[in-house]
Amino acid sequence: MNRSSGWVHEAFAVFAKDWLLELRTRVALGAVVLFAVTSVMASGFALAPPSGVPAEVKAALLWVVVFFAAVAGLSRVFVVEEETRTADSLRLAVSPTGVFVGKLLFNTVLMWGLCLVTVPLYLLLLEVPVRSASLFVTVVVLGSTALACATTAVGAIVAKATTRGALFGVLSFPVALPPLLVAIHGTRAAWLSGGAWRVATGDLQVLVGFILVIVPASLLVFEHIWSE
């Protein structure tokens, strides 16, 4: 196997290994999905019609729920390696790029799973009228991907810290804020505007641009975080 395709192979191996372990225990999945469902239920009780809460507020609330659910589970993928003391053997077996891309894929799929459960439930309970379903799905897919990209390297930092506590949420928020704001903006457009695609083109470009910037930046610093 030559070196350039080596890390792709490694990344998929790490991805497959992490999902295998995750499906055995379902810790991250359980934390993320239960957190999301609980907070959607709570919002549903409080804000369902006829409460008269405008759709703008509901768009912001949806992404707040998704972000905090992500905070509950996305650092797990690195923390588990430190807790089970498998980080060293992983360091020996796989290149840093392979590890990072594998973990990033894991977190991205986890975010998609989270949105797959949360978003339909949210739309159902809070009775949001969606004007452009195709745009809404695009914003959710890109937004959740961008959140995973923003927080994966932060998760690696948190896993190395002595006192983890609430560190992941505190460190993630500033990095995840740009995609979060843009996703809220795009969601609002998809729910309310007539020519929604035209209104939200800029938002989609920013989300793609953010992913294209933050992933290489994470890759550059990840080597320094990961290797002792």
What does the binding site for another protein look like in residue numbers (CB under 8 A)?
150, 153-154, 157, 160-165, 167, 170-171, 173-178, 181-182, 185, 202, 206, 209-210, 213-214, 217-218, 220-222, 224-225
CB of 112 to another protein, least distance (A): 22
Q: How many CA atoms lie within 13 A of 18 on its CB side?
A: 31
Closer residue to another protein in complex, CB, 17/91: 91
Which residues, other chains included, contact 54 with Cβ-Cβ below 8 Å and sequence gap of 6+?
Answer: none
Name the token pair of 13: 């191996």
Closer residue to another protein in complex, CB, 48/161: 161
Closer residue to another protein in complex, CB, 123/157: 157
CB of 214 to another protein, least distance (A): 6
| Residue 184 · residue 60 · CB < 8 Å | yes
Closer residue to another protein in complex, CB, 135/184: 184
Closer residue to another protein in complex, CB, 26/164: 164
CB of 159 to another protein, least distance (A): 10
CB of 55 to another protein, least distance (A): 17
What is the torsional sign of CA 166, 67, 28, 20? negative
Residue 130 phi/psi, 5-degree rounding, is: -95, 115
Axis-axis angle for helices 167-192, 133-160 (nearest 10): 170
Residue 102 phi/psi, 5-degree rounding, is: -60, -45
CB of 37 to another protein, least distance (A): 28
